[in-house]
Amino acid sequence: AQKITQTQPGMFVQEKEAVTLDCTYDTSDPSYGLFWYKQPSSGEMIFLIYQGSYDQQNATEGRYSLNFQKARKSANLVISASQLGDSAMYFCAMREGWVGANNLFFGTGTRLTVIP
């Protein structure tokens, strides 16, 4: 089974509107971390936000927030007040466990296009 599932290959949003990018994950480990990365056409993977499995509150970083629903195993990214520069690929990723936890499992990504 896939560890990370992103079901939206592409999304469109009007500039200044909010958009939610979906991510579900699969793990039986009680300790895990969830990450979102942005990849513009230039190729660099830019870290956006992190949520730990034991964190009580949803993570927020500026215009990015993570809607963490543990029971549903979902970690959706919400981008508020979209800007043209937000157009990019967005990847959800998960790290399992704590000991030797070097591997990040990535989803297939969602291409976000912001419309002027």
Partner 1 sequence: ETGVTQTPRHLVMGMTNKKSLKCEQHLGHNAMYWYKQSAKKPLELMFVYSLEERVENNSVPSRFSPECPNSSHLFLHLHTLQPEDSALYLCASSRDGRETQYFGPGTRLLVL
Interface residues with partner 1 (CB under 8 A) are 4, 33, 35, 37, 42-47, 50, 91, 93, 95, 98, 100-109
4: left (phi over 0), alpha (psi -120 to 50) or beta: beta
In the complex, the smallest distance separating the C-beta of residue 35 from partner 1, rounded to whole angstroms, is 7
Choice between 14 and 113, CB closer to partner 1: 113
In the complex, the smallest distance separating the C-beta of residue 26 from partner 1, rounded to whole angstroms, is 13
- Token code pair at residue 84: 């043209």
Instruction: Pick the closest to residue 68 from 84, 80, 82, 51 (CA basis).
Output: 51
Choice between 7 and 103, CB closer to partner 1: 103
Choice between 81 and 101, CB closer to partner 1: 101
Cβ contact 32:15 at 8 Å: no
In the complex, the smallest distance separating the C-beta of residue 31 from partner 1, rounded to whole angstroms, is 9
Q: What is the DSSP string of 95-107?
A: EE-STT--PEEE-
In the complex, the smallest distance separating the C-beta of residue 15 from partner 1, rounded to whole angstroms, is 26
Cβ contact 12:35 at 8 Å: no
Choice between 44 and 71, CB closer to partner 1: 44
